[in-house]
A and B are shown apart, each in its own frame.
Chain A
Amino acid sequence: MTQRALSTPPRSLRLSVEGNGGSADRTFGAIGAGAAGALGLVLIGVAASVARVAWPSIEATGLSFVTTSAWDPSRDVYGALAFAYGTLVTSFIALALAVPVALGVAVFLTDLGPRRFQRPVSSLVELLAAVPSVVYGLWAALVLAPLLRTTVQPALARVGGPLFRGPNVGFGVLCASLVLAIMLLPTIASVSRDVLRAVPAELREGALALGATPWDALRLVVFPHARRGVFGAVLLGFGRAVGETMAVAAVVGSRADISPSLFAPGYTMSSVIANEFPAASSELHVAALAEVGLLLFVVTVAFNVAARVLVARSREGAPRWREAAPRPGAGEAA
């Protein structure tokens, strides 16, 4: 209501602030700025310290680190291509499986589902996100992988083709992709749900009042309006898939190979760090693993930045999310 008064506090008010608590206020500001700055430093620190540890490897291997896939710590041969390949393949398959289901869940929660189910389903989806990834890893290794070996993969092998052949041990790219898909689902579903909810109600009502079915309204009005944000949700999911470690490490098969078969064991960037870092002996081995980490950092940061920009933009104008909007706040006074 008093927009003007908020953005330009009255003079007397400002004077009284400085008069009463000037030095304490400066201390408060400094502590806060210090804490906030520490947070900014952490991010830079992550990049810098990973890069520092990785330096010997960057010097020793150069470009061949990302162009070759031979990884043999005992001979100090390091090429990370197979890890990058494994990460991308598992993440893409996981996304392909998770996105349709997650979007189905999201529209159930916002438009299509019966209202009395929406709240309980919403909490269950959030519960799905709360289960620690190491528990998914345990379940995938002891339940999902045997199931794949005995039932699913033999059936797929009958379909044939380059994707579905080779040794059938359960552990491998397919198993890792499946468990990743399960873990991405709640992320993509809940961010998409928020984005769809942020579409102004009057647009939905406008469509319904024209005789649209809820599905038509969703398809022709709501979704076009929210598509950027939904794309952001998918990118956010991809970022998570790339960084997910424990569940993948438990079932991916841990072999630095590039094979077209989904049954074949593979490796991902995060899981090789998890498996080898604690036991890494030589300095170059540690450095090479850190360089894998650096690669991982660059990829996830790029995806996260892109995703957040998209999601924030599509939420603009919705009252619940004020992130992107400049706020006339008391903050400007000082």
Chain B
Amino acid sequence: MNDSVDRLRARGARVEAVEASAKMSAAELSAWFGDKQALRSITLPLIERKVTAIIGPSGCGKSTFIRCLNRMHEVVAGARATGDVLLDGKSVYGADVDPVRVRRRVGMVFQKPNPFPTMSVRDNVLAGLRLSGIDPPDTDALVEEVLGQAALWDEVKDALDRPGGALSGGQQQRLCIARCLALEPEVVLMDEPCSSLDPIATAKIEELIHDLRDRYTIVVVTHSMQQAARVSDYTAFFYLGELVEYDHADVIFTKPSDPRTEDYITGRFG
């Protein structure tokens, strides 16, 4: 599949053509806050079981973009979107599609860790299931497994009944990732997951993203080009609400074709 992408890219084809290998894709997606347009007709595939990074200066619409993917954009007052987002080839904006079901399949991790402060670590992990009205049979095993996946088990196994807010920032963020993984999502969206974390916690999250890429389709928004280069397979550069360039990460960071991308990654603006 990757070969086909490479070939298409080599021929300078538009990205619609690679949708064959895409888990999700945006098609001419535009988004507004009130009168202000935040995204301008974005068409972008998100390749299955790969990490796609979205980079760009603040206000370029990268967070808005991923919030459109799981229909969290519309939660904000005055926000709306046009165009389409496909998940396994089916529109998530269809008239008969309940956003609740989309969000089950497309998990999200936020910029600021947001564990539920009234719940314990254990209950936070199970929150997604409980919110869905499900009481899993073997919670202990599930909690251990999921916290293990999120590389947090060893640190919190003795503190499962402490409130989620009592953990350190990095631990909180991994708890939020665990909370998301407990629902077995197909796609995981991460909105600047490390921006409020120190370098050590950031390294742990990046490692975790590495470990998860085999099982999930991951989209990471980041303002750090180094991070994008470290974690992503594909990288998209957004500027002023437009998709400027999308390619293999190593191509974007070594020989970008658009001068604006080059300016950005070499630090000439942003």
A–B touch (CB < 8 A): the answer is yes
Contact B110 A115 (CB under 8 A): no
Contact A206 B100 (CB under 8 A): no
Contact A211 B103 (CB under 8 A): yes
Known: A115-B77, A210-B103, A212-B100. Contact between A205 and B114, CB under 8 A? yes
Contact B116 A221 (CB under 8 A): yes
- Give the contacts of A176-229 with B (CB-CB under 8 A): 200, 202-213, 216-217, 220-221, 224-225
Known: A205-B72, A217-B131, A220-B131. Contact between A210 and B117, CB under 8 A? no
Least CB distance, A282 to chain B, in whole angstroms: 57
Contact B116 A212 (CB under 8 A): no
Q: Which residue of chain B has its CB nearest to the CB of A224? A: B118
- Give the contacts of A215-271 with B (CB-CB under 8 A): 216-217, 220-221, 224-225
Residue among A209, A216, A220, A225 having the largest count of chain B Cβ atoms under 10 Å: A209
The segment out of B137-145, B176-184, B218-226, B245-253 that lies at the interface is B176-184
Contact B131 A202 (CB under 8 A): no
**Cross-interface CB contact of A212 among B70, B108, B131, B180, cutoff 8 Å:** B131
Contact A209 B112 (CB under 8 A): no
Least CB distance, B131 to chain A, in whole angstroms: 4
Q: Which residue of chain B has its CB nearest to the CB of A213? A: B100
Known: A115-B77, A205-B72, A205-B75. Contact between A211 and B114, CB under 8 A? no
A41 to B107, CA, bound (A): 57
Contact B72 A206 (CB under 8 A): no
Contact B72 A209 (CB under 8 A): yes
B132 interfacial contact with A, CB 8 Å: yes
Q: Which residue of chain B has its CB nearest to the CB of A223? A: B118
A220 to B126, CA, bound (A): 12
Residue among A208, A211, A216, A221 having the largest count of chain B Cβ atoms under 10 Å: A211
A264 to B110, CA, bound (A): 59
Contact B110 A205 (CB under 8 A): yes
B130 interfacial contact with A, CB 8 Å: yes
Cβ–Cβ < 8 Å partners of A211 in chain B: 100-101, 103-104, 128, 131-132, 183
B54 interfacial contact with A, CB 8 Å: no
Contact B112 A202 (CB under 8 A): yes
**Cross-interface CB contact of A208 among B103, B116, B118, B119, cutoff 8 Å:** B103
- Give the contacts of A48-63 with B (CB-CB under 8 A): none
Q: Which residue of chain A has its CB nearest to the CB of B133? A: A216
A interface size (C-beta, 8 A): 20
Least CB distance, A38 to chain B, in whole angstroms: 41
Residue among B72, B100, B131 having the largest count of chain A Cβ atoms under 10 Å: B131
Cβ–Cβ < 8 Å partners of A115 in chain B: 77
**Cross-interface CB contact of B70 among A200, A202, A204, A209, cutoff 8 Å:** A209
Contact A209 B108 (CB under 8 A): yes
A220 to B127, CA, bound (A): 9
**Cross-interface CB contact of A203 among B107, B114, B131, cutoff 8 Å:** B114
Least CB distance, B72 to chain A, in whole angstroms: 6
A211 to B186, CA, bound (A): 13
Q: Which residue of chain B has its CB nearest to the CB of A225? A: B118
Contact A210 B183 (CB under 8 A): yes
Q: Which residue of chain B has its CB nearest to the CB of A212? A: B131
Cβ–Cβ < 8 Å partners of B77 in chain A: 115
Cβ–Cβ < 8 Å partners of A203 in chain B: 114, 116-117
Q: Mark B109-123, 1 if CB is under 8 A from A, else 0.
A: 010101111110000
A217 to B183, CA, bound (A): 16
Cβ–Cβ < 8 Å partners of B179 in chain A: 206, 210
- Give the contacts of B172-208 with A (CB-CB under 8 A): 176, 179-180, 183
A212 to B128, CA, bound (A): 7
Known: A203-B116, A225-B117. Contact between A210 and B110, CB under 8 A? no
Cβ–Cβ < 8 Å partners of B133 in chain A: 216
Least CB distance, B166 to chain A, in whole angstroms: 15
**Cross-interface CB contact of B127 among A200, A202, A205, A210, cutoff 8 Å:** A210
Least CB distance, B212 to chain A, in whole angstroms: 17
Cβ–Cβ < 8 Å partners of B118 in chain A: 221, 224-225
Least CB distance, A216 to chain B, in whole angstroms: 5
Q: Which A residues have a C-beta under 8 Å from some C-beta of B?
A: 115, 200, 202-213, 216-217, 220-221, 224-225
A-B contact pairs, 17 of them (CB 8 A): A115-B77, A203-B114, A205-B72, A206-B110, A206-B176, A207-B131, A208-B103, A209-B180, A210-B128, A211-B128, A212-B132, A213-B100, A220-B127, A220-B131, A221-B118, A221-B127, A225-B118
Lowest 9 CB-CB distances: which A-B pairs, in order? A211-B104, A209-B108, A210-B128, A202-B114, A212-B131, A206-B114, A224-B118, A211-B103, A216-B131
Given contacts A203-B117, A209-B72, A212-B132, list 5 more A-B pairs with CB under 8 A.
A208-B103, A209-B110, A211-B103, A212-B100, A216-B133
